[in-house]
A and B are shown apart, each in its own frame.
Chain A
Amino acid sequence: MNATIEIQNLRKRYGTTVAVDGLSFTVAPGKVTGFVGPNGAGKSTTMRMILGLDAPDEGSALVGGQAYQRLRCPLRQVGALLDAAAFHPGRRARDHLLWIAQSNGIPRRRVNEVLDLVGLASAARRRAGGFSLGMRQRLGIAGALLGDPPVLMFDEPVNGLDPEGIRWIRGLLRSLAAEGRAVLVSSHLMGELEGSADHLVVIGRGRLIVDTSVRDLLAAASGDRVVLRTSKRSEAMTVLANAGATVAATERGEATVSGLPAERVVALLTEHGVPFSEVAAHRASLEEAYMELTRDAVEFAASTGGEA
């Protein structure tokens, strides 16, 4: 099976609310694709339509080139974590995974394998209702991994996890992608995807805002700025401004310089005897890049809203 998700012009309306509005994107194999947008942007709705749970009003969502409803052992093609609380609290973790396995002809031994994989082996016989939020996430992830599927989707998998858990999820996502699987991970916080996503699909109000690789996005957001750290900030700012740069004071003892490459900044400061502890090319965080993007998106929405 071809490990992809292809979304074509997907549209879904609930009453008068348009949840997903003409969305198109592709999730490629071998990568972690971050699916980002504020709460209510339409991420979960899109995922439900991919799984055939909600019927799109228009457009299509194909998994490996097929509509989900046509898959005969769907969990062996697509594994999904939608809601970490989606189990009966009275059921043992192992029984919860067992019925899922049975429904798709997955052997019983695979249940133990995934319990090991997510670190719940020792809790297999415990009732899921007594699990911490982190354990619930792990149980949900175990359910997604049961069918060893080439396509995986996780809706907000980091929610409620402790730092150790977050690190574990990142490692898991990376290793799943490294095995050649297509991995789609949604989050409303771009920062959560830092260090795990290779590709980003950002949506707002059900529409695509950007579909880009993380590397390109960061390069664009970083621009040619240089971060300067010095104990004599005002002197440094004067020197650099006189050399034609735009200088902005940021935090205490820090300034951002635009219009001059880092080597030139170092040369100028050294020439004028201004001490500094660090001069570095600015590297934007995903969070910053995201804020910039969504700001643009709001403006975009405002300007097109007037026309419509």
Chain B
Amino acid sequence: MATTTADRHVDRHAGWDGRDSFGRLVLAEWTKLRSVPRWAMAMLAAVVLTVLVSVLTASGSGYGAGGPGPPIGPDGGGVTDEFYFVHQPLTGDGGVTAKVLSQTGVEGESHEWAKAGVIIKESTEPGSQYAAMMITPGHGVRLQSNFTTDRAGSEAATTPRWLRLTRSGTSVTGYESADGANWTQVGTVELPSLPRRVEVGLFVASPFAIKVERQFGSGTVGASPTSSTARFSDVVVTAAQPGQPAPWSDQAIGGSDRVPESLLGSATQAGGVFTVTGSGDIAPNPQDVDGVRQSLTGVSIGVMVIIAVAVLFITSEYRRGMIRTTFAASPRRGRVLAAKAIVVGATSFVVGLVASFASVLLALPILRANGLAPPAFQVPSLSDGPVLRAIAGTAAVLALFAVVGLAAGAILRRSPGAIIVVVVPLLIPQLIAGALPLAAARWLMLATPAAGFSIQQTVEQRYDFVSSICLPEDGCFTTGPWVGFGVLCAYTAVALAAGFWLLRRRDA
């Protein structure tokens, strides 16, 4: 009997695939996912809702069109270039030395990044090239150049402090000294297209004080101008080619409409001591409105739908006992979960790619029409690297959330519980971050799975020598796009590992 049975099977099963392949499991799971019409509809709805909400949000936005926009620095980015400048021309190689006697704020309050020192600048035009040696109340002695380069000297800038800049060709070297006799070189910077004739002299600046008031559900950001006064003596300009000593002139550079006239600054000289008062900053001015992120707001709705489908992809099997059919068909349960994760992850990635690409494509022009346009704002192009990263990254975040949902479904085996467990940590940080102190809010945003959305950042140039407004509840991550994405990846890995472990260990 056994022999005839075996023979019959050999004959009838000719052509059946006997290989033990993982691919056929993936194929089976794909058949499962595509053959429930409600899930296909939900995936379609995820795309439609995402695009719709993105477009509606963009339509309701306004960015106060007009305005000249910030000056553009040597490397093409927007900059702030406002300070009080006491200067004279210098042709060819040479240098400037000064002794800073004191640096004081108004009513004893100084901005930590108030700047006072010597500067060599291409011209008095805002945004032109420069190198500067300075002291700051909060960050010691610094050598800064062309807005984005910053090098630290002595940590504590006690006054009096001697500062010196020397130019040789396109190189500018900064020195500092406590006594005017023993000099320390802080560094050398290259200013590649520095003209032969430049302006050299003294400068004072004091940035806007940014005050963030945070209350539950709302935050107000206030920026108020500050000013600073510094006294200099022993000011010497040396030139390799001696000529007539030029007279000093002084003026407020940049004098934007943001700074009231009373704070534009002044300079007086008496007995070799210069007293200079100034306001403003010499610093990069990164755009704080991220148009691409703004055009992807609908993703927060789409992700909910995708999580729900991913959870149901496994809990619906538990609910109806079909999981037993699944595990009887493939007893190695880890492979089943892996196949499900690949199928639901890849599907969510494609859905996310369509949804986020369509959102950016449709919402970005609306944002532009509403004022998010040059010259006040730089508008990214769809082919920019960071924009493509934001679009593909959003799709990847949706895929990861789908896998987290699947794993939660495998762990909890019930749809409502699994959906809540995934969705709540996604929503809570957004809701309560505004009520927390900034440090706690940043930590919360970065420690929860929602951190993955940091991949949507396309404006990521933040400088630790500039106080910028970066509120976590607005989706600003100080850590850049990748750290938060890594956090979400870690959550996904942990959830999957827990799912694997429980599936293998539990009775089906």
Chain A residues with CB under 8 Å of chain B are: 1-3, 29-30, 48, 51-55, 68-69, 71-76, 78, 80, 82-83, 85-92, 95-96, 98-100, 102-107, 143, 148, 150, 179-181
Contacts and interface: CB of A to CB of B under 8 A. Distances in A.
B1 A180 contact: yes
A53 B327 contact: yes
A179 B2 contact: no
A105 B17 contact: yes
Interface of A is mostly: loop
Contacts of B31: 95, 98-99, 102
B28 A102 contact: yes
Contacts of A99: 28-29, 31-32, 35
Contact of A105 (B16, B37, B332): B16
A105 B21 contact: yes
A3 B322 contact: no
B35 A74 contact: no
Interface of B is mostly: helix
Contact of A88 (B18, B24, B36, B329): B36
A170 to B, nearest CB: 22
A88 B16 CA distance: 26
Contact of B322 (A71, A73, A86): A86
Interface string B1-25: 1101110110011011111110011
Contact of A29 (B5, B17, B330): B5
A27 to B, nearest CB: 14
10 contacts: A54-B508, A55-B507, A71-B331, A74-B329, A74-B331, A82-B325, A95-B35, A103-B24, A104-B329, A143-B325
Given A54-B508, A76-B13, A102 B24 contact: yes
A104 B31 CA distance: 13
A95 B34 CA distance: 9
B330 A103 contact: yes
For the complex of A and B, 6 pairs with smallest distance between CB atoms: A105-B17, A95-B35, A103-B28, A54-B507, A99-B31, A102-B28
Nearest to A127: B37
B328 A80 contact: yes
Contacts of A82: 321, 324-325, 328
B2 A3 contact: yes
Nearest to A92: B35
Nearest to B5: A180
Contact of A107 (B15, B28, B35, B326): B15
A100 B28 contact: yes
A272 B9 CA distance: 65
A87 B329 CA distance: 14
Interface string B174-193: 00000000000000000000
Contacts of A83: 321, 324
A76 B328 contact: no
A183 B493 CA distance: 43
B395 to A, nearest CB: 26
Interface residues of B, number: 43
B27 A102 contact: yes
A100 B317 CA distance: 13
A29 B2 contact: yes
A90 B434 CA distance: 43
A75 B328 contact: yes
Nearest to A82: B324
Contact of B507 (A53, A72, A150): A53
B16 to A, nearest CB: 6
B19 A105 contact: yes
Contacts of A91: 32, 35-36
A215 to B, nearest CB: 19
Given A51-B328, A88-B316, A2 B15 contact: no
Contacts of A2: 2
B94 to A, nearest CB: 80
Contacts of B507: 48, 53-55
A86 B507 CA distance: 17
A85 B318 CA distance: 12
B320 interface: yes
A148 B328 contact: no
B18 A73 contact: yes
B334 to A, nearest CB: 12
Interface in B466-485: none
Interface string B30-74: 011001111000000000000000000000000000000000000
A148 B38 CA distance: 32
Given A85-B320, A88-B322, A104-B24, 14 more contacts: A1-B5, A1-B9, A2-B2, A52-B328, A52-B331, A86-B321, A88-B320, A90-B38, A91-B32, A99-B31, A99-B32, A107-B15, A180-B2, A181-B5
Contacts of A143: 325
B324 A48 contact: yes
Contact of A148 (B6, B9, B29): B9
B18 A53 contact: no
B35 A51 contact: no
Contacts of A52: 327-328, 331
Nearest to A80: B328
Interface string B101-143: 0000000000000000000000000000000000000000000
Interface string B330-349: 11100000000000000000
Contacts of B317: 88
A3 B321 CA distance: 27
A53 B329 contact: no
A29 B317 CA distance: 32
Contacts of A76: 13, 16
A53 B508 contact: yes
Given A99-B28, A105-B16, A30 B1 contact: yes
A90 B37 contact: yes
A148 B329 contact: no
B5 A103 contact: no
A95 B36 CA distance: 9
A148 B13 CA distance: 9
A5 to B, nearest CB: 14
Nearest to B26: A102
Contacts of A69: 331-332
A90 B35 CA distance: 8
Contacts of A75: 328-329
A69 B508 CA distance: 13
A67 to B, nearest CB: 9
Contacts of B29: 99
A88 B38 CA distance: 11
B508 A48 contact: yes
Contacts of B19: 105
A43 to B, nearest CB: 15
B224 to A, nearest CB: 61
